Structure 1
Amino acid sequence: MIKLIIDAAKDKIFLMFISDDNIQNVEHENNKLNYEKLSMLINDFLIKNKFNLKDLSQIYVNRGPGSFAGIRNSLSTVKAYHLTNDTDYYCFSFDDFSNEGAVKYEDIPNLCEKYKIKKNLINPDYSG
């Protein structure tokens, strides 16, 4: 069971996978070229850690606020993964967890469950 967190709404494109016994992350420059190849960045990250797309059980994607292009491309990429692999995805905002104080990325899956963040909910927030 591999969980993937994608955050392309901020200054860097951030990817993290969480497995039962391992957490790995990587950051990439937040620029147009990387947005256009986001699926390749994700695939390379998974391969580097000896996983593939079929290993993903859940994907968590930051829906904003933040970069319009980053949010749009990350949501499109996640929607494509859902359509091709039937992977569950959750769209969160750090604003959803404002009662939690400082939230770390590895906390996102548990917080989505705690706050009952709905599956497959996309309401992007581009302000900010």
Structure 2
Amino acid sequence: MNKLIIDAANEKIFLMIITNASIYNITHDNTKINYEKLTIIINDFLLSKNLKIADIGIIYINIGLASFAGIRNSMSVVKAFNVAKNIDYYCYNLHDFKDEKNLSYERIPDLCKKYKIKKNLINPIYIS
């Protein structure tokens, strides 16, 4: 199962794709312009690795502690992927893993299992 890690809570927007065969990552400046085109950045990154959003099975998203705008925008994108493509997601905070000695993005999926991070922690109410 292909995994996508999104971290827009820090100085750079960080994206990582983990496939069965490889790990890819990319960073972008953390600017208002890039927030507004986050879906385009994600899509372009996926296409550069011959993937589509439908090829992603799980998304892991950093929800804090840092840039409110980055967290808000990345959460909006992930919720849209969840609603449109039924892609499951985990919301983590790097502080959840503060006891880990060798913390790296590649380990986020395993750490979410180890620390029993719950799926879909944010459930907004939609008004139709």
TM-score of the two chains, using structure 2 as the length reference? 0.94
Instruction: Map residues 1-128 of structure 1 onto 2, 5 A cutoff.
Output: 1-122=1-122
Shift of 1:37: 0.4
Q: Distance in 2 between matches of 1:122 and 1:17?
A: 23
* Residues 103-125 of structure 1 deviation map (CA, whole Å, 9 limit, x = unaligned): 100000000011110000139xx
Shift of 1:101: 2.4
- Runs (4 or more) in structure 1 with deviation over 4 Å come to none
- Could you list the runs of 5+ residues in structure 2 that have no partner in the other structure? 124-128
Q: Distance in 2 between matches of 1:122 and 1:84?
A: 16
**Maintained 8 Å contact 1:2/1:55:** yes
Shift of 1:23: 0.1
Quickly say closer, same or farther: Cα 1:22–1:89, change in 2 above 3 A: same
* Residues 68-121 of structure 1 deviation map (CA, whole Å, 9 limit, x = unaligned): 100000000000000001001000001001111241000000000111100001
**Maintained 8 Å contact 1:9/1:63:** yes
TM-score of the two chains, using structure 1 as the length reference? 0.94
Greater relative contact order (Cα 8 A, min sep 6): structure 1 or 2?
1
